[in-house]
Structure 1
Amino acid sequence: MAAILIVEDENGISKFLKQGLEEEGFGVTIAADGQQGLYLARSNTYDIILLDWMLPKMPGIEVCTRLRETDKTTPIIFVTAKDTIMETIAGLRAGANDYIKKPFSFEELLERIRVQLRKQEAPPADLRLGPILIRKATHQVFNGGQEVFLTQKEFALLEYLVANKGAVCTRNRIIEDVWNIHFAYDTGVIDVFINSIRKKLNLKKEEDCIRTIRGIGYIANDISV
């Protein structure tokens, strides 16, 4: 039975989620503020954390940041009314795995939870893109033998492009498959993360192994070592 921590200060929402998730066979714990949520997440093992952004005592984004600083890799799904592109980027850079905006359907949230659980069950395998090595088991990236430190979402995006090496990944497919967002959304957030990945990998323009297909998306291709 998968264990879920809900960090939500609105009693009606947390009760609704608890009842629905328990009916689906999940074990559910509730924290009503950020400090309690952080304490429980650090002290116990959960399979998923559902985290509100606007919380008493400590905002959700700080809870997320502090958890990632302690190497906690539990998947975090922000459940929040905040949905501007900059807020979404901030949440993902803090280490969130997914983002669902209020109001939402329980069925959509349930599917997002299942997606995160399936990712944990998938057998890890190394991926290569020219001199770039992706170690899925340890969430490490190396370029020419030198380790490159990416955020969780940067890692997920690079992994997705390399796993689909040689094929054009459209912006809509990326936003659905990497961000798990299945509604009309500004895909400009992808550009921010691609630029950050290129900078961290120190990719030169003339040998960029992640090419922009203008107006469509991106494609990853091998380059010479």
Structure 2
Amino acid sequence: MPHVLVIEDDEVTAREIALELAAHGISADRVHSGNEGLKAAQEPHYDAITLDLMLPGMDGLSLVKQLRERGISTPVLMISALGDVDERVRGLRAGGDDYLTKPFAPDEMAARIEVLLRRQQPAQTKLRAGDLELDLITHIARRGGRELSLLPTEYRLLEFLMRYPGQVLTRAMIFESVWGLRFDPGTNLIDVHIARLRRKVDAEGEPSLIRTVRGSGYRLG
């Protein structure tokens, strides 16, 4: 079972994070200050960390920077009530791996942690989902031996979906990973590209591999 360290000074938020992770089969330990978090995060048995940026004793940016300087590469999901883009950039430069703004949906937080956990898996040169195959070297996609003609954005979108088969990927996660932009809830850009990708992936008579999860996002398989 994956093991996550939750560094959060608000007891209610820390408990909610731990409960949501438990519902996804992920165990969690909680600490409530920056100094406690720095000490605990150096233990080798944690697979990921959720880190509040505003902590007593030591702020989250300083904490994650110290971890990286000490060679600790445990993936970090930074969480903050600050919606400032500069704060997000500063945090990622300090060595964080992803960022979530309060208030957040618990399932969004858990989905991002699951993505960070999967990134720990060994590098692959090919991705497969059923009869769908993506060659990460040649950038060629095939389904049932049939080569798919994908535009660059469609390729990136398919690659992101195939890296996390069976997992619900939220629109915010897709937008940030594929387009590299902060998600705008008013845009239909993702839905348009998903529809185009489906038309190329699913030939007549083939079952659809890209599924819509109402109110959440999309999943492959």
The answer, yes or no, to whether TM exceeds 0.5 is yes
Change (3 A) 1:113 1:182: farther
State the secondary structure of the residue aligned to 1:68: helix
SS of 1:121's equivalent in the other structure is coil
CA shift for structure 1 position 72: 0.8
Q: Distance in 1 between matches of 2:32 and 2:108?
A: 23
Partner Cα distance (1:107, 1:182) in 2: 18
RMSD: 3.1
Q: After the TM superposition, which of the residue ranges 49-58 and 35-44 deviates more from structure 2? A: 35-44
2:64 is equivalent to residue 64 of structure 1: yes
Matched residues in 2 for 1:163 and 1:14: separation? 44
* Counterpart Cα distance in 1 of 2:109 and 2:97: 13
- Residue by residue, what CA displacement relative to the aligned partner does 1:79-120 show, whole Å, maximum 9, x if unpaired? 111221211110000000000100010111111111111211
Partner of 1:9: 9
Q: Contact 1:98–1:179 (CA<8 Å) still a contact in 2?
A: no
Give the TM-score, by structure 2 length: 0.59
Q: Please state how far the C-alpha of 1:67 moved relative to its aligned partner.
A: 0.3
Q: Alignment partner of 2:123: what SS?
A: coil
Would the aligned equivalents of 2:175 and 2:183 in 1 still touch at CA under 8 Å? no
Q: What 5-or-longer segments of structure 2 have no aligned partner?
A: 126-136, 141-149, 158-173, 186-221
Question: Following the alignment from structure 1 to structure 2, what is the Cα–Cα distance between the partners of residues 169 and 42?
Answer: 38
User: Residue 30 of structure 2: SS of its match in structure 1?
Assistant: strand
**How far does residue 23 in structure 1 lie from its aligned partner after superposition?**
2.6
Show the counterpart of 1:31: 31
Q: Aligned equivalents of 2:75 and 2:17: distance in 1?
A: 17
Q: Is it true that 1:46 corresponds to 2:46 in the alignment?
A: yes
Distance 1:123 1:48, change over 3 A: same
SS state at 1:120 partner: coil
Give the equivalent residue in structure 2 for 1:155: none
Distance 2:26 2:86 in 1: 32
Contact 1:112 1:180 in 2 (8 A): no
Q: Which one-letter code corresponds to 1:28 in the other structure?
A: A
Residues 153 and 178 in structure 2, CA contact (< 8 A), matched pair in contact too: no
The 10-residue stretch of structure 1 (21-30 or 53-62) with the greater mean CA deviation from structure 2: 21-30
Percent identity over paired residues: 33
Superposition map of 1:1-225 within 5 A: 1-124=1-124, 168=152, 176-177=176-177, 183-184=183-184
Match of 2:80, as an amino acid? T
> 2:54, 2:179 → 1: CA distance?
21
Could you tell me whether the CA contact under 8 Å between 1:22 and 1:28 is conserved in 2?
A: yes
CA distance in 2, matches of 1:8, 1:177: 26
TM-score w.r.t. structure 1 length? 0.58
Give distance in 2, aligned partners of 1:88 and 1:20. 24
* Matching residue's letter, 2:90: A
Unaligned runs of 5+ in 1: 126-161, 186-225
What is the aligned partner in structure 2 of residue 205 from structure 1? none
> Aligned residue pairs: how many?
149
Secondary structure in structure 2 of the residue aligned to 1:73:
coil
